[in-house]
Amino acid sequence: MYALGLCARWLHLASSILLVGAATTIALAGRSDRPTARRWEHRVLLGSRGLALAALGSGLIVLGLQTALFEGRGGAALEAGSIARVLIETQAGRVWLVRFGLLAILAAFLWSRLHVESSLDWRAARAQAMLLGAAALVPAAAAGHAAAVEPETARAIALDGLHVLGAGVWVGGLLPLALLLWTAAAEPGADARPYAVLAARRFSRLALGVVLVLVATGTLMAIANVGNVAGLVGTAYGRLLLAKLGLVVAALALAAVNRAVHLGRLAGDGPTVGRPAMRRLATFLVGEGLIALAVLAIVATMTVTPPARHEAPTWPFSVRLSFAALEGAPAASARVLIGSQIAVLGLVGLAAGLAIRGRRLPLVAGALVVLGAGVGLALPPLAVDAYPTTYLRPSVPYHAASIASGATLYREHCAACHGAGGAGDAPAGLRLARPPADLRGPHTALHTAGDLFWWLTNGIPEAGMPAFGRELGEEQRWDLVNFLRALSSGYSARGMRPAIEPDRPWLVAPDFTFAVGPTPPRSLREYRGRRTVLLVLYELARARSRLAEIAGRDGTLALLGVEVIAVPVDAAPDAIKRIGPEPRVLFSVVTEGAQAIVTAYHLLAASPHVEFLIDRQGYIRAVTRGSGAAGDLDKTIAEVQRLNEERTAASAPEEHVH
């Protein structure tokens, strides 16, 4: 089923693209009265008829298989009702309808017997085939991965549309042009030789521009769909893209030879230079065309492969490069700086060597040596150990409940060696081959979540750290990773004060879910982009006056867009009742979910009474550690006003999950 689907998609894509290219090439070559040229045009038109039928037939198979996938039943592929539902109710179906309709019109147009004797008629007919082909091809972008790119969906669809259109013009033109050159190079085709040479030159000029468009749109789309190096080398989608790029480079190399060598010789002396060049160019074009068809097979596979940005990458190397490795290492930093400068020198030399015509070889060779030396000097200090899971994103979000669960697991499984507070000072740990790391330190934050996950799963044998992969489930290990992240963040946040640092958000507020009395549960995330949150962790006995102060300024806080969420540290389910008639509870008092919030946020700042100011992007910006006595709420309000004045909204914390 999968193989049939791929074949159908490939056939559909390839025929749709070749239709555009065939029409463009005819239009590009122009009208001619030479018999050979007309014969060629007729053959390309006959081929287009076949292509249109292939596109329609394979399109039907693609639709049937898509219906089966959407409905979750193989039988649905042949049921009219199910297919109609897909066509009417899904974007993919509606796009299919539009495209199939245009393809059908194009097929009818190609099969109709037109008499195009006048030049105007000819141009109208060829332009119509070209436009119909393009119109049937481009909307495919709205049913592919581009449609799911956010934000700027329209931009992604436009880029993708331009990309496939470019592919149509370039890839689709290769085979018709090869046919023309081959025919013209033969003895009886002599009358069409000037026509063929002209067509080849026009195509070459157009193709150069189109390739630039393809590279630009392809790069932008790869950034949107793959995102980073880990996605490129560590996911199925990324590797398909790499394979595609490899083939594209091969096709471009052939194209470069065509431009540099063959094209100039076409007009040379017929028997000795021109015709052999024509034949070689035709052969090379066929080679390019075959490579392009292979590229389309990869593209067809990519359309049914989830894009890398939603997949868990498996890092294939044992090292990665990280600038974080240079922190606190001045000697290494100097080495990287010097090495990078030498490498830049090498690059400049390389550019000069390629630009200057004389003495090219020694210059380029020398520049490559310098470049290599620079890279060799600069890279080693940047290399840090990496594991297959290094770029894995946590499958469990950075959430208070996960952190709290991680805290419990830590006490049960880790504290014996790493110490209750994570300092690595417990007696059992000190007896190990290598004493356990201080988990509070910033270096914990320098490792990726995936690194920590790898060590938890597989242990660190040489240090004596055991593996927990069998003992703890995947979610539990991620809970521990989230706990460690909070622990380390808390250590870094020791210096956080009641005053915000303008435009410097860095401490991510763990998400949490809470309920106030009988109302349905809400989460911190829901306030993102809407409200600033003042999270108050209070102990009722000592915080009455502070709560009264907050209740008293209820109107001002609401006006400034502040949501107050008060969390009793004893996590009493009857917290609202306990507060009694005074102060009036004019803010959210958490009756459910408090335990996890207190556990998680006390890791970030432990104090009997503590208040966190969380900005609209979900970053903790200020921490007030107090006793719960009524203080100066005006100060907090002033900080909120400063937050409201910030212009540059930081991007929301990365919390990608799928």
Residues that bind other proteins (CB under 8 A): 66, 69-72, 85, 89-92, 143-148, 150, 306, 310, 396-397, 399, 401, 405, 475, 513, 515, 517-523, 525, 573, 591-592, 656-658
Q: How far is the CB of 225 from other proteins (least distance, A)?
A: 10
Short-list 80, 281, 327, 325, CA closest to 180: 281
Nearer to other proteins (CB atom), residue 82 or residue 489: 82
**Whole-number minimum distance, CB 470 to other proteins, in Å?**
20
CB of 318 to other proteins, least distance (A): 30
Smallest gap, in angstroms, from Cβ of residue 458 to other proteins? 24
Residue 159 near residue 220, CB atoms below 8 Å: yes
By C-beta, is 137 or 157 nearer to other proteins?
A: 157
Element (H, E) at 275: helix 275-303
The string of DSSP codes covering 152-205 is: -HHHHHHHHHHHHHHHHHHHHHHHHHHHHHHHHHSGGGGGGHHHHHHHHHHHHH
Distance CA 293, CA 235 (A): 23
Q: Residue 529 phi/psi, 5° resolution?
A: 75, -5
Closer residue to other proteins in complex, CB, 143/281: 143
Nearer to other proteins, 145 or 320 (CB): 145
Q: How far is the CB of 571 from other proteins (least distance, A)?
A: 10
Closer residue to other proteins (CB): 200 or 404? 404
Q: How far is the CB of 88 from other proteins (least distance, A)?
A: 8
Three-state DSSP state, 536: strand
Inter-residue contact 653 to 617 (CB < 8 Å): yes
CB of 13 to other proteins, least distance (A): 14
d(CA 654, CA 309): 12
Tell me phi and psi for residue 436, to 5 degrees. Answer: -60, 150
For other proteins, give the closer residue by CB, 143 or 343: 143
Give min distance, CB of 633 to other proteins, in A: 30
CA 466, 471, 474, 480 dihedral sign is negative
Nearer to other proteins, 62 or 255 (CB): 62
Which CB, 119 or 395, lies closer to other proteins? Answer: 395
d(CA 59, CA 476): 46
Looking at the DSSP bridge assignments, the partners of residue 34 are none
Q: Are 588 and 563 in contact (CB under 8 A)?
A: yes
CB of 406 to other proteins, least distance (A): 12
Q: How far is the CB of 274 from other proteins (least distance, A)?
A: 49
- CB nearer to other proteins: pick between 412 and 474: 474
**What's the number of CA atoms in the CB half-sphere (13 Å) around residue 442?**
8
554-560's contacts with Cβ under 8 Å and 24+ in sequence apart are: 554/586, 554/587, 556/637, 557/637, 557/640, 560/532, 560/637, 560/640, 560/641, 560/644
Position 598, amino acid: V
CB of 648 to other proteins, least distance (A): 25
258 touches 208 (CB < 8 A): no
CB of 457 to other proteins, least distance (A): 19
Residue 24 or 66: the one with the smaller Cβ distance to other proteins is 66
Cβ closer to other proteins: 51 or 62? 62
Q: Are 207 and 255 contacting, i.e. CB atoms less than 8 angstroms apart? A: yes
Nearer to other proteins, 592 or 646 (CB): 592
Q: How many alpha carbons fall within 13 Å on the CB side of residue 520?
A: 1
- Return the structure tokens found at 534: 């003042």
Task: Output 491 or 514, the one with its CB closest to other proteins.
Answer: 514
Q: Compute the distance between CA of residue 447 and CA of residue 115 in angstroms, rounded to an integer.
A: 72
243, amino acid identity: A
- Shortest distance, CB of residue 579 to other proteins, whole angstroms? 17
269 torsion bin: left (phi>0), alpha (psi -120 to 50), beta (else): beta
Q: Which is nearer to other proteins, 5 or 168 (CB)?
A: 5
Shortest separation between residue 61's beta carbon and other proteins, angstroms: 15
Strands 619-626 and 522-523: unpaired
Which residues does 582 contact at the CB level (< 8 Å), separation at least 6?
544, 548
- Shortest CA distance to 18 belongs to which of 178, 170, 209, 218? 170
CA–CA dist 424, 403 (Å, integer): 19
- Spatial separation of the C-alpha atoms in residues 100 and 654, rounded to whole Å: 40
CB of 402 to other proteins, least distance (A): 8
Nearer to other proteins, 205 or 656 (CB): 656
Measured from the CB atom, the residue of 387 and 398 that comes closer to other proteins is 398
First-last CA distance in the chain: 26
CB of 559 to other proteins, least distance (A): 25
Angstrom distance (rounded) from CA 194 to CA 201: 11
Report d(CA 522, CA 512) in Å as an integer. Answer: 8
